[in-house]
Amino acid sequence: MKTIAIDLDDTLNDFTETLQRTEFVRDDTYALSEEVFQEYLAKVRRGARNRGDLLSTEFSYFRYKIHQRCYELARPRADGAAFMRWLRQNQWRIVICTYRDLRRTQDGTRAWLRANDIPFDHLFMAGNKVVFCKVWGIEHLVDDDAFNIAYGAQYGVNVYYPAGVRHLAAPANPTPATHGARAFQNFDEIIPWIQG
């Protein structure tokens, strides 16, 4: 059976756009002052990560809560959902491969996929998707991460990514001629690439 791995955030959905456009309102569940709430929200929107030796901090928990809300609110790409249904109709095994912490977000992620009529066979969290694909014998990966775009070919993984400004500006992203990944505007462009 043919197998493909596909990312969720900023590939099948509009996560970053949702993060930027959503009006988050502080309430008592955050246990933060308005000033700290706004400071943390600005950091999350800039893509800041937890700094220091602690695995969990006030900021990391806040970031998780904001991301969780974005996972719920993010809109699917219509062409992405249609592509997933095409894969199912053509007997592809579909592996959703995400950086999300599925220990916390598995139920919500599955509910979002069902609500948006996006078929899949497996749902995995993977820190290094290229190696994940290599180990599991998955030849095709649809993902927006610059690392996967840059290094997929070295591991024998064909990477397809939604074209966007952030990929052109990624400092670690070699030119398309050297990394072998293919950019697409619409998911339909991927179909002939994976059929060959």
Question: Which CATH number do you get for residue 159?
Answer: 3.40.50.1000
Asked if residue 68 lies in contact with residue 111, where contact means CB atoms within 8 angstroms, the answer is no
Q: Is the pLDDT of residue 34 over 60?
A: yes
Q: Which candidate, 112, 98, 99, places its Cα nearest to that of 49?
A: 99
Average pLDDT, the chain: 89
Question: How many Å apart are CA 182 and CA 21, to the nearest integer?
Answer: 29
% of the chain beyond a pLDDT of 90: 74
Q: What is the pTM of this model?
A: 0.87
In this structure, the answer to whether residues 94 and 56 fall within a common structural domain is no
| CA pair distance 122, 140, nearest whole angstrom | 15
Contact predicate 36/91, CB 8 Å: no
Q: Which of 73, 90, 121 is the last residue of a domain?
A: 73
At position 74, the amino acid (one-letter code) is: A
User: What is the C-alpha separation between 147 and 129, in angstroms, rounded?
Assistant: 9
Query: Based on the domain organization, do 187 and 153 belong to the same domain?
Result: yes
Distance CA 159, CA 140 (A): 6
| Residue 49, pLDDT score | 78
Residues 26 and 109 in one domain: no
Asked if 66 and 83 sit in the same domain, the reply is no
- How high is the pLDDT of residue 171? 40
109 and 53 in one domain? no
Cα separation, 88 vs 120, in Å, equals 8
What domain count does the chain have? 2
Its domain, for residue 34, covers 15-73
Question: Is pLDDT larger for residue 40 or for residue 168?
Answer: 40
Cross-strand bridge partners of residue 162:
184
Same domain for 36 and 97: no
pLDDT digit string (tens) for 10-23?
999 999 999 999 99
What is the rounded CA–CA span in Å between residue 123 and residue 113? 10
pLDDT (tens digit, 9 = 90+) per residue, 138-174? 999 999 998 899 899 999 999 999 987 455 444 444 4
Confidence of residue 180 (pLDDT cuts 50, 70, 90): confident
Q: Are residues 94 and 151 in the same domain?
A: yes
Asked whether residue 184 falls in the same domain as residue 108, the answer is: yes
Pair 103, 121 in one domain: yes
Are 63 and 86 within one domain?
Answer: no
55 versus 169: the higher-pLDDT residue is 55
